[in-house]
Chains A and B, each alone.
Chain A
Amino acid sequence: MRREPRVKTLRIDDCDCAGREDQTVLDVARENNIRIPTLCQINGLTNVGSCRMCLVEVKGVPKLLTACTTMVWEGMKVVTNSERLHEYRKMILELFFAERNHICAICVANRSCELQALALELGVDHIRYPYLYQALEIDSTHDKFVLDHNRCILCTRCIRACSEIEGANTLGMMRRGVNDKVITDLNQPWGESRTCTSCGKCVNVCPVGAIYEKGLSRTESRREHTFLPYLTIMRGER
């Protein structure tokens, strides 16, 4: 016999909330209009808690927990916004910026970027850590898409979309820590991938400008030059 999920009552900040036992702290917080910043989480994909933005304090638990992967329990007391959490979230964001080469001004995702938007929301106005200036490549071998490792924050949304939704499993992760890298197939050029279906789901789930459609970057934007010889005629010869 199938057991119905039980309802748990808990407290998030100043709000008495109720949630099903199969819901996460993040789910219940959102149902109650409590904002917890997230970056690697996107509805429809498995939550992995890799970006650490949604860290919350839970009374009685000595370490911080990720709201997106912690199921609710009875009598839980959660703090989503303390000075300590705010400081940690800022640090995490700044480390994202310092790790790779994020140059907002020339990025295809400028002004539609979740990393940039979070920096604004959390009041990051400069990066306190020295930048790493890693030499990272750009894979533009695919017909339609570009993978720019300089802008990747390793949230793995693209990998999850590729595996869980499209089922192609083209995208994956290589190495560990600061040397992490999103790869296509067995680290072959994307254009040579025999598993990629060119569905574009990875493009649409990318929170930053790491995966984008060709033709969107500024240098690629085409200009119509055919009428240029007629400019003199257009303004009337003098």
Chain B
Amino acid sequence: MRERNKARVATVWLDGCSGCHMSIFDMDDRLLELKDRIELVYSPLVDAKDYPKDVDVALVEGCIGNEEQRKFAHTMRASTKTFVSLGDCAVTSNIVAYRNPFKMHDVIHRAFIENSEGEIVLPQEDVPPLLPFAVPIHEIIDVDVYIPGCPPSADLIHYTLVELLEGRHPDIKNRFG
């Protein structure tokens, strides 16, 4: 059911540390003001299993590191009006890219064999296969707005959201890191 006069907003957590979501929380009382203007239709904070249709704004944290996330990115793009890469992981792949200079085999060996105790089981099912590189989202799909920062400040996220709700394209000046 679509709530009237409210923008449908999704927040998404891909390959990241959730720090950007913490920054969203840091908007504090401004979240209460926003709740009259937005409907949170998908998020790690709400109980929605599938990405809904007709999302107005998606704030996406984290980069794309596995096959599931890669497919999900296309799903999101198809149902999202304004796609926002939120934070350095989404924009540059940041710390997640630390694994990229290593071969995928070495990464998996390190995680599941060298560092495991007891029975060694390599993931075969239930765990989505890793991509050779963890890449920024815009290498997979088109992105409309970039918010660099690790994490971006609550002020910057608030500014971006309000600009988008007002139908303007936010002018974002923020350094990486």
Binding site for B on A (CB under 8 A): 97, 101-107, 110-111, 116-117, 119-120, 123, 125-128, 130-131, 133-136
Contact = CB atoms under 8 A, between A and B. Distances in A.
B100 A131 contact: yes
A125 B146 CA distance: 6
A111 B139 CA distance: 26
B175 A119 contact: yes
19 contacts: A101-B97, A103-B92, A103-B95, A105-B88, A105-B150, A105-B176, A105-B177, A111-B175, A117-B175, A120-B174, A125-B91, A126-B85, A126-B146, A130-B135, A130-B139, A131-B93, A131-B97, A133-B97, A135-B102
A95 to B, nearest CB: 14
B122 interface: no
Given A130-B139, A133-B100, A136-B101, A125 B95 contact: no
Contacts of A130: 135, 139
B92 A97 contact: yes
B138 interface: yes
B143 interface: yes
Contact of A126 (B91, B97, B101, B150): B91
B98 to A, nearest CB: 7
A120 B146 CA distance: 13
Contact of A106 (B92, B95, B139): B95
B101 A119 contact: no
Most buried by A among B147, B172, B175: B175
Closest 10 CB pairs of A and B: A104-B177, A105-B150, A133-B100, A135-B101, A104-B176, A125-B146, A120-B175, A110-B177, A126-B146, A105-B177
Interface of B: 85, 88, 91-95, 97-98, 100-102, 133, 135-136, 138-139, 143, 146-148, 150, 172-177
A126 B174 CA distance: 11
Given A101-B97, A104-B92, A117-B175, 10 more contacts: A103-B98, A104-B88, A104-B150, A104-B177, A120-B174, A125-B172, A126-B92, A126-B146, A131-B133, A133-B133
Nearest to B143: A126
B139 A120 contact: no
B133 to A, nearest CB: 6
Nearest to A150: B101
B87 to A, nearest CB: 9
B176 A116 contact: yes
A55 B101 CA distance: 32
Contact of B175 (A101, A116, A131, A135): A116
A126 B136 contact: yes
A106 B94 CA distance: 9
A213 B168 CA distance: 45
A134 to B, nearest CB: 6
A111 to B, nearest CB: 7
B41 to A, nearest CB: 26
A214 B83 CA distance: 41
